[in-house]
Amino acid sequence: MNLYLPDASDPRMTGVKPLPERLRPVSRPRRLRATPAIRRMVAETRVAPAQLMLPVFVKEGISSPVEIASLPGQFQHSTESIKELATQAAEAGIGGLDLFGIPEHKDEIGSQAWDPKGILNAGISAVREAVGDDLVVCADTCLDEFTDHGHCGALTPDGRVDNDSTLPLYAAMAVSQARAGAHMVSPSGMMDGQIAVIRDALDGEGFTDVSIMAYSAKYASAFFGPFRDAVDCSLKGDRKAYQQDPSNRREGMREALLDLAEGADVVMVKPASHYLDVLADVATVSQVPVAAYQVSGEYAMLEAAAANGWIDRHRCISESLTSIVRAGADLVLTYWAIEAAQMFRKDF
């Protein structure tokens, strides 16, 4: 590359006047961008590997990992292969795993969800066997993977999700997950009052140390599409009657405040990248850690663009996660958790 500094003798500079001394910059922010070392030293936002949590899928009836077509590089795992993944995650130094179960058999109330021998509880036990307390073992506490209709709760005769009939099912599921070894449960169904009911159930069974990560501001997002492939979801229709309207910002704050009042140990905004305003709002008021879920659609879009050579994959992964933390997230659930931990480790 030929370097070129303007020179008054260059004929191409005809008509270009020298910069007057009075207009020379006094403030020069570029000084702190001059070298990679300076930029690292003064970075306002740093993403630590321990802030990252990996969503993982454990499936009944398989003996080896099955790649998820719409989530390239992500897999449905057996109870054996998920042990290997958990060990990799612990070695990478990430914070934890969030487990989702995929059963062979579903019914109208999702009864496999609280079966002690059900696939999700088996997965929890397998991960605890592999890594003990080296990772936070979190479990998704929702029924959509377990119901034959794909909704997050019990249905009324006319097909609506019945809030109050669903809450005892969540309580049973959370207790079964705690018995299987979960350090944390994560109710994601957006039922009113779910945190209070789960906290009461856990405490009543002696699981006072099991924490709750509440999916507090969870929006009825189109970006969940690949996830439904990942969990073999049976849903027909949508969840707009209980997940939030993407146009509502204040409502996200209201939901988070309700969950805090009911005893949530962590509150979450989901999705992350397209809801940074909501995330920032929640972070300003929360007295507990705030999580954000970089969902399947966010992951799939960047992977697809990178596969086509349209973007710099590593830089976009780093930038996307940094923006989420910059907006206020203390924890980020991301499918890049293990890879990103290696990328960010140099900053610590």
CATH number for the domain harbouring residue 212? 3.20.20.70
255 annotated ligand-binding residue? yes
**24 inside domain:** no
pLDDT at residue 205, rounded to an integer: 98
Cβ atoms of residues 173 and 143 within 8 Å:
yes
pLDDT at residue 7, rounded to an integer: 82
Catalytic center residues: 218, 270
**6 inside domain:** no
pLDDT at residue 1, rounded to an integer: 59
Let me know if 236 is exposed, middle or buried by CB neighbors in 10 A (0-12, 13-18, 19+): exposed
Cα–Cα dist 235/243, whole Å: 14
DSSP-H helix ranges across 181-309: 194-204, 225-230, 250-262, 276-285, 296-307
Instruction: Enumerate the β-bridge partners of residue 58.
Output: 77, 101
Q: What is the pTM of this model?
A: 0.93
**7 inside domain:** no
335 annotated ligand-binding residue? yes
pLDDT at residue 232, rounded to an integer: 64
**313 inside domain:** yes
pLDDT at residue 347, rounded to an integer: 59
**93 inside domain:** yes
**28 inside domain:** no
Using alpha carbons only, give the angle 65, 270, 133 rounded to the nearest 5 degrees: 55
Which residues of the chain have a pLDDT value below 50? Answer: none
Cα–Cα dist 247/269, whole Å: 14
DSSP-H helix ranges across the chain: 36-41, 81-92, 119-131, 163-180, 194-204, 225-230, 250-262, 276-285, 296-307, 313-326, 337-344
Cβ atoms of residues 70 and 76 within 8 Å:
no
345 annotated ligand-binding residue? no
**189 inside domain:** yes
Name the residue range of residue 101's domain.
Answer: 47-345
**213 inside domain:** yes
pLDDT at residue 150, rounded to an integer: 84
State the total domains in the chain: 1
